[in-house]
Structure 1
């Protein structure tokens, strides 16, 4: 920076000298013009010079004669142009010197600064692997003879059955023994691999006749897998649709057995979680209730509410089943189960229509058209259907505190099933109980509904 200042000072002095010389030269020329010398050697009066200029301005050409020895414009103009060029040249030379001084100062500062850290080449960075990479594995909850390898699963024929924001479902047929499985692929999960493994071991240990058993779980570096036995009967949704289309019978006894089975499965979930943190199902609906070859209901998707990211809005995707409070709890599962009971009684499907079934049924009851809510098959057994309607209306109460627990719902449904002579022995409970007035034990008294058992 000192060198830069010195250069600027030299340039300023040079420019001052040039300007001074130019001024002296100009004054000398002007003085020569105004002080012409006469023939006798005396200085001409300024008045005479002025008179000549005035006569010239009015067109008298003979009035003014250029002195022989005077200095005129064409004699000193080249000197002025040369001086101007020199000034411009000196300016650019000085500018370059100043910039060079700045560059040298920057280099000096960088030279005095500490050296930057040595980073590995880009090729080395690209080759760095994670500290721990889990290899693809499958963990089974079935006997050895039923197990297979991840490679068998990846090479199997797979047909997409459905997909959503958080998961996809495939029907997979193994090549070696033609066994068919339902494989659920989770797209994203908030759990780490270790957390996922710990949680799935707890789910796999749950064994109940109304829960879809988990055959195995697995994972790769990019996804997590849940493996179940494929149920050829499909879901309760598909069976109810077939009934509406006239492709199958769906009698009252079958529907009541299904209602009892679902309630038992949900009650088992909450009984097993007693003393531990409860894990609600969170997605009870017709398509998540599968039926085996005997029409026994199997609750699927249990535990999946913990495996998906709640921020993705994967839960409560079917608004017709979601409780108003939009939270995961036993009370919200009771609400969803109440909607399923209403679907079994009315023959109306919520999942695809988006119908607010609880509101519709309450409106029919309020207008004293209660008997009209039943499906034609259920209307034949209205004597038993009315108590079940009372239970379902209690389940879909707007406030969570007004809903019964799963255990209470199971108890009341079993009371209905015990007085029905047409139920199969496998689907009835061994506990004998006397029918009670379900209207007053489950539904508030102001909800008086005709047909309750007395």
Structure 2
């Protein structure tokens, strides 16, 4: 008997010691166990036990630095209140959707790090949680499908970072406050008991965001048709009334929108005859005939003027055929005009098969794709329907023909799934053209910054990571393809990372930095991607390429434009900053999450991956070149973020050099 009592006492002490050990290892252990005891009636959280670490095996629990950062407990029939969880001060994501929690929402003031809060499809009651407006880092708030009531407070305006505000299918009443939330993308208050006029700041959201509120009016739903105005005031000063607002006196006349129905207590005075109100038929006919005569004279003068100029040009010796040729080029939108004294060159193809001549490019319809540091790029559709990209090297400083041809021979033989293949080139004294594959899905720059705002489809995290990995492989291949020359790209930026038909990243415009003109050295800081030591882009190094690629990674993570990109601002309203300096300043303040693009906050369980890519970007943008990793190492680090392939090929730069490319002999 004594032995049994001794064993029971021993195990009891051991159990308490285990609890003490776990609680000492993880400060959030006791709060989680208290929550399970209070809410998990049916033991759905069976993996939550006192013998294991919450951060290792507990379902729905995700930790960062041994503190619970994400808690995702959805559709588990949990009940009661989640108040024990309010002591999780490091929580960033809390999702309790599709449970049976009830009662008022407890105080959320301890969740100072919270960014995503999902409490939809429960049975919460009471008013709008007042403490939620103090969570200044909150991006997503979903309280839909509950039994919340009362008014929506104007203090919602304090949540300046909010992207999602879902309050639909509750019992909120009163007016919608005037909200000034510049980042708001997803808003819904349908299925409540709201009344009054929809604020103008919210009129851009769809009708479904306000449906099933019979007393609401204004854009985008039905117009507020009833206006009540004082008879002594002009109609424009009348007050707007809700369509269902009760009137104290049903006999009070309602002023309609048509002036003829306005009531009047005394008859209007007779109007004085207006002598200018009527025009005699004879005068009307004279006016019409005069207009016709004036129009005819003007037409005749214009015709004579243009015909005389055209005839004079046609009479000039030897210029008639050139005029017709120029007109043909203009009509076909070709960007390659034939100039006087034009030296005849030839198209050189790298694959041995001649597919078109310069005349075919002149006849092709052309569309400008963009203007860079070395010239303008065009999309050209040839007569046979094939599409190519043509870059006109107008601003490049090219020496002799032999130097140009030797360099093109090296670039033309480079083949890799993540670089844009050069197909042909044209060299003449007054014209240098590069012909390459056309990439139909645009550039990384446009995907990140184009058309930002409501209605835009954001670039998701998986696609961003795939593009980063593919572009890294492309740059690493360029660096390793010809070891004797140590080739560099020299102009890495998001506009030079293109996407092919399959969505794979292709690096473009590589190897052209040797043609940079004096303007590139005169303003070394005009490009937000340029390394601090790269004062002369013609002498770029592989380490300076690594710095530029690191800026691209920061651009992918932040959604912001590097300062002075291409000498201009960013399209679509994206913020323009000195990315490396700004990110380092934020990280020094130990709030890393502030640097990430708001459009990425809708995705779950990616924060560790974003932090991993951020660490790679910071190492690439180190101020000292020797502290930056090689591109082959960058490729490996990006691929290790998920531990799986995130691109079209598993080849790193080492294995990529075995693919058809430039040989050492050719170099």
Provide the TM-score with structure 2 as the length reference: 0.41
* 1:189 alignment counterpart: 397
Tell me, yes or no, if structure 1 residue 408 matches structure 2 residue 633: yes
- Conservation of the 8 A alpha-carbon contact between 2:424 and 2:434: yes
Tell me, yes or no, if structure 1 residue 338 matches structure 2 residue 512: no
> 363, 369, 372: which is aligned to 2:585?
363
- Conservation of the 8 A alpha-carbon contact between 1:282 and 1:315: no
Matches within 5 A, 1:15-30: none
Matches within 5 A, 1:234-245: 234-242=442-450, 244-245=452-453
1:301-338 Cα shifts (integer Å, max 9, x gaps): 01111233355549957521011112501111101100
* 1:114 alignment counterpart: none
> 283, 292, 295: which is aligned to 2:503?
295
Cα 1:265–1:425 change in 2 (3 A) is: closer
Cα 1:427–1:318 change in 2 (3 A) is: farther
- Conservation of the 8 A alpha-carbon contact between 2:398 and 2:404: no
- Conservation of the 8 A alpha-carbon contact between 1:189 and 1:308: yes
Aligned counterparts of 1:231 and 1:272: Cα–Cα separation in 2? 23
Cα 1:425–1:194 change in 2 (3 A) is: closer
Query: Which of the two has higher C-alpha Rg?
Result: 1
Cα 1:241–1:218 change in 2 (3 A) is: same
Question: CA shift at 1:158, angstroms?
Answer: 2.3
- Conservation of the 8 A alpha-carbon contact between 2:347 and 2:358: yes
Tell me, yes or no, if structure 1 residue 319 matches structure 2 residue 527: yes
- Conservation of the 8 A alpha-carbon contact between 2:476 and 2:652: no
Structure 1 alignment gaps of length 5 or more:
1-132, 432-454
Question: CA shift at 1:249, angstroms?
Answer: 3.6
The two structures, once aligned, show a CA RMSD in angstroms of: 2.6
Q: After the TM superposition, which of the residue ranges 376-385 and 334-343 deviates more from structure 2?
A: 376-385
Question: CA shift at 1:191, angstroms?
Answer: 2.3
> 424, 429, 434: which is aligned to 1:216?
424
Q: Report SS of the residue matched to 1:342.
A: helix
* 1:136 alignment counterpart: 345
- Conservation of the 8 A alpha-carbon contact between 1:165 and 1:314: no
Q: Which has the higher contact order (CA 8 A, sep 6+)?
A: 1
Provide the TM-score with structure 1 as the length reference: 0.60
Q: Report SS of the residue matched to 1:158.
A: strand
Aligned counterparts of 2:461 and 2:361: Cα–Cα separation in 1? 40
Tell me, yes or no, if structure 1 residue 256 matches structure 2 residue 465: yes
Cα 1:166–1:300 change in 2 (3 A) is: closer
- Conservation of the 8 A alpha-carbon contact between 1:256 and 1:417: no
* 1:396 alignment counterpart: 621
Question: CA shift at 1:254, angstroms?
Answer: 0.8
Cα 1:409–1:398 change in 2 (3 A) is: same
Matches within 5 A, 1:368-387: 368-379=590-601, 380=604, 381-387=606-612
Count the aligned residue pairs.
293
- Conservation of the 8 A alpha-carbon contact between 2:470 and 2:648: no
Larger strand share, 1 or 2: 2
- Conservation of the 8 A alpha-carbon contact between 1:173 and 1:179: yes
Aligned counterparts of 2:351 and 2:486: Cα–Cα separation in 1? 25
Structure 2 alignment gaps of length 5 or more:
1-341, 571-575, 654-667
